[in-house]
Amino acid sequence: MSDAGPPPSWMLALDASTSRCALALGRPDRDEPPLEDVEDDGANQASTRLHGRIAALCERAGIAPGQLALVACGRGPGTFTGTRVAIATAKGLALALGCPIVPVSTLAAVAASVDDAGDRVLAVLDARRGEIYGGWFDAAIDPCCDERVAAMAVLLAEGPRPTHVVGPGITAAAEAIEASIPRTILAGPSAAGLWRAACAARRRGELALPAALDAVYLRESYAELGVNTPRRPTFVSPFLSSTS
């Protein structure tokens, strides 16, 4: 769906792809800040409370959930479980309401969480395995090039030179960033950043049917790669015999 259509009266935005689970509710056709709900949870369990938080946010706005005309959802990259929970929640809402979804890059939401960061922001999330999820965005939160997963040194060497690096991925690879490049460490996107990125995606006409919303992980999971390592040694019961 490429036609943005008339501006909706109420839009809900949610993202749970990092340890920071952010919600924003407002009217994108009006120049006013949205209502915000942000929960930081290092155990990545905040996404399990999405339904109650959405209901509370709608109550604060004085509207019923049925009055939502558009749902924006962080589609990753980020944590596998949190991203899937957010997408499932957004799909369920959009299907029940009969409204479209705005897929929002979690990296774009992180980039939009810092004011006056310059004209080329590099947003980074820790991808583990010695790698970083990275995406470059201009001041209008439009993507400058494709998002990637690679070592921080590779991202900086092969991508555009950033005017600012922002995100939780800085902690994992701070030594690879030149001291002259400003940086801001965040746990994840702010609600305001998520809202700004969602509004930018909507302005670009990036609307989708609920069934078309998919997570963007940029690489396969441990399970898909077949490299999962059991946390404990395999236990074999002494009551089992290898012989009949």
Do the Cβ atoms of 153 and 120 come closer than 8 Å? no
- CATH number (3.30.420.40, 3.30.750.210, 1.10.150.130, 3.30.1490.20) of 109-184 reads 3.30.420.40
Domain ranges within the chain, ordered by starting residue: 11-106+189-219, 109-184
- Nearest alpha-carbon partner for 46 in 70, 68, 17, 74: 17
| pLDDT higher than 80, residue 223 | no
With residue 236 as reference, give the H or E element that holds it: none
Model-wide pTM > 0.95 = no
Cβ-count burial of 237 within 10 angstroms (0-12 exposed, 13-18 middle, 19+ buried)? exposed
* Domain 109-184 in the same topology as domain 11-106+189-219: yes
Average pLDDT, the chain: 88
Per residue in 154-165, pLDDT tens? Answer: 999 999 999 999
By three-state DSSP, how is residue 20 classified? strand
pLDDT at 242 over 50: no
- pLDDT digit string, tens, across residues 80-94: 989 999 999 999 999
Q: Please tell me the distance from the alpha carbon of residue 85 to that of residue 77, in angstroms, as a whole number.
A: 13
Cβ contact 131:176 at 8 Å? no
Of the candidates 161, 164, 160, 135, the one whose C-alpha atom is nearest the C-alpha of residue 147 is 135
Q: Where are the beta strands (DSSP E) in 117-193?
A: 121-128, 131-137, 148-150, 164-166, 183-184
Model confidence at 6, pLDDT cuts 50, 70, 90, reads low
Mean pLDDT confidence for 193-222: 92
Query: pLDDT tens for residues 10-64?
Result: 999 999 999 999 999 999 999 899 999 999 876 556 667 899 999 999 999 999 9
Q: What DSSP character marks residue 34?
A: P
Q: Distance (Å, rounded) from C-alpha 80 to C-alpha 16?
A: 10
Tell which CATH architecture fits domain 11-106+189-219. 2-Layer Sandwich (3.30)
